[in-house]
Amino acid sequence: MYETIRIEQRGEIAILYFNRPDKLNAINATVYKELSDYLQSIEQSEAVSVLILTGEGRAFVAGADIDDYLTMTLAQFSAFQRLGRSVMAQMEQLQRPIIAAVNGYALGGGFEIALACDVIVAAENAKFGLPEAKLALLPGGGGTQRLTRIVGSYVAKRMIFSGESIDAQRAYELNIVTEVAEKGEALNAAVTLAEKILTNGQLAVRMAKRIIDEGLEASLPTALSLEMDATAHLFVSDDKREGIQAFVEKRPPQFSGR
């Protein structure tokens, strides 16, 4: 069905593989369009509660397809960048958690895609970097901004000025990655996390994603008001009633997502 991505469904967990392994899954416009199309399809159905992004072969995604840059006009380049920006916004607005399972290289646009996910888990051999300055370019898919918001300007500038990659352990120390798995185990670690998320009320999980992201862009009083409104909304949900009832009856809850 898709040319550059592959989807595997495991119950309510969907795994999206970037699937151009002979190019280390480098991104072209088709990758972005197919990712966007898939995100739209899951938003419109209840079949997927958690989405995992990972890469086929030895890379997560090694950045934009540099071969395409040889012939691109400025208009084509700008359109490609706008497309990437809109797909990453779509990821952030998706009312489902997205986990990046970084199995190898996450460079340039690949790192930027991971940074637009809600959680990043990585294999110990994963590499993260924004090497665009080596091509006399800049990260144009949010790298200069999203990375800086996580690690601060000194670390972000060092990474972007030098173009050097960091390994998974360093990414963990910098709060980019929440867990480091053994080589070949990033996807399993992401699935284990997804299964934990699925035991909880999905309304609450989706609300948490929205208010954490929106709250980061707001003043603290505004963000705290968002939080208060969200908790009040959840307080009258079927899921909250079931969660409390199940706790009292000492049984696992059966959430309906309402």
Residue nearest to ligand COA (CB): 63
Among 5, 15, 24, 42, binds ligand COA (CB under 6 A): 24
- Per the structure block, which two tokens stand in for 201? 């009320």
| 26 forms part of the interface with ligand COA (CB under 6 A) | yes
Provide the CA 7 distance to its chain's centre, in angstroms. Answer: 16
Among 4, 23, 50, 51, binds ligand COA (CB under 6 A): 23
Closest separation in Å from C-beta 164 to ligand COA: 11
132 is catalytic: yes
Among 8, 40, 46, 66, binds ligand COA (CB under 6 A): 66
d(CA 42, CA 49): 9
| 51 forms part of the interface with ligand COA (CB under 6 A) | no
Among 37, 67, 213, 229, binds ligand COA (CB under 6 A): 67
| 108 forms part of the interface with ligand COA (CB under 6 A) | yes
Q: Which is nearer to ligand COA, 108 or 201 (CB)?
A: 108
195 is catalytic: no
CB-based contacts of 30-37 (< 8 A; 24+ apart in sequence): 30/3, 30/4, 31/4, 31/5, 32/80, 32/83, 32/84, 32/87, 33/83, 34/2, 34/3, 34/4, 34/5, 35/5, 35/87, 36/83, 36/86, 36/87, 36/90, 37/2
| 126 forms part of the interface with ligand COA (CB under 6 A) | no
- Per the DSSP assignment, residues forming a β-bridge with 107 are 129
Q: Which is nearer to ligand COA, 11 or 184 (CB)?
A: 184
The interface region with ligand COA, picked from 95-103, 131-139, 174-182, 204-212 by CB under 6 A, is: 131-139
Contact in structure between 38 and 2 (CB atoms under 8 Å): yes
- Reading phi first (left if > 0) and then psi (alpha if -120 to 50, else beta), residue 194 is in alpha
Which candidate in 34, 46, 56, 132 is catalytic? 132
d(CA 108, CA 61): 8
Which of positions 175-234 make contact with ligand COA (CB under 6 A)?
Answer: none
* Site residues, ligand COA (CB under 6 A): 23-24, 26, 62-67, 105, 107-108, 131-132, 135
What amino acid positions are annotated as catalytic residues? 112, 132
